[in-house]
Amino acid sequence: MTSSRLSKLSLPLVLILLSPAVLAADTAHDWLVKMNRAAGTLNYDGVFVYQHADQLQSMRIIHRADGNSRRERLVALSGVGREVIRTDSEVRCYLPDENAVLVEHRKADAKGFPNLAPRSPGELDENYDIRLGKTGRVANRKVQSVAIRPKDAYRYGYHLWADIDTGLLLKAYLIDHQGSILEQFMFTQVTIGGKIPDSDLEPQNKGSGYVWYREPAPADTPAQGAAAWTVTQLPKGFSLSTHMLRTLANRQLPVEQMVYSDGLAVISVFVERLDAGGSGRAKGVSGLIAKGAVNAYGSRVGTHQVTVVGEVPVTTIRLIGGSVVPSRAVPGDK
């Protein structure tokens, strides 16, 4: 464009053509990628509120990223002051009200808070409609919103707000098909970037004098040929992402776990043998149980207890929960 032609354009149009927002032209998918990257690579320290079912909590999160290594600390700002320390290899939950510390193993690629974005946003298009929303402000920072709407009744929708400067997710809604908010979190204050000292990532209470419950190591083993169970009915878009045998601290026998995902929603299926007295997970979950966005379905299949849990609609949980069957002969079952 020559200078003479440029001079004929109105000033507002010139400003629009040269504005960074237009030059960048980020799509909704680009923003999901930014959110995913920011959650794992940035240092941040903030306070957020989290609403689930009828519970409202205020928490502080401190997250530090050192190359490929991450460490974070979550502190409840009300109640008894529970804390969670996460590293790439384990999660420690400090429970002052129970005088206990729970230690679980963690996969290095596990998603950490506040990471709600999939690694490959393009895979969502078949089952979700993803669009850019308006800009706004959260925690006194400018944000870009992204709306993710499901195309069927088997999954929930999301409304996400990401920090424009860094991509960090600062606010999120989980929405049902009636448009009601099932679950939400929002930062009320946050500092992004800067150094985070080791002392900020240590629990206030070291757990001295507490009872420590440690998940046995190794925590899980690929099921492979040992897999005895399968799901015969899945909603479109869901596929098996993990199949393992887990050794849990309060179980004598390993628990078979299958994890299914559509790239965003995640559903876990647990299968374990009941003891001679018929106890086990069936004692805790029988039939359908709903709490906010989380739905669970428990049933007994032969000598085994099947439990399905996920942040998906009841329709999805019922479909999967009623289709868990042995993939081969299970000893003790007829």
- Print the SS3 string covering 101-114: EEEEECCCCCCCCC
The model's pLDDT over 68-96, given as tens digits with 9 standing for 90+, comes to: 789 999 999 988 889 999 998 889 999 99
For residue 94, what are its two tokens? 């400090």
Fold exhibited by the domain 216-326 = Phosphorylase Kinase; domain 1 (3.30.200)
**pLDDT value of residue 222:** 54
What superfamily would CATH give domain 23-201?
Answer: Lipoprotein localisation LolA/LolB/LppX (2.50.20.10)
- pLDDT value at 139 more than 60: yes
CA 92, CA 73: separation in Å to the nearest integer?
Answer: 10
Check whether the bond before 218 is cis (ω within 30° of 0): yes
- pLDDT value at 317 more than 70: yes
The model's pLDDT over 91-134, given as tens digits with 9 standing for 90+, comes to: 999 999 999 999 987 654 455 555 565 656 778 999 999 999 99
Output the CA angle 64-65-70, nearest 5 degrees. Answer: 85
**Confidence label for 143 from pLDDT (cuts 50, 70 and 90):** very high
Same topology, domains 23-201 and 216-326? Answer is no
Tell me which DSSP letter residue 24 carries.
H
The model's pLDDT over 149-204, given as tens digits with 9 standing for 90+, comes to: 999 999 999 999 999 999 999 999 999 999 999 999 999 999 999 999 999 999 98
Domains of the chain, residue spans: 23-201, 216-326
The model's pLDDT over 209-254, given as tens digits with 9 standing for 90+, comes to: 899 988 765 545 555 545 578 999 999 999 998 888 877 656 667 7
Placement of tokens 């008894």 in the chain: 80
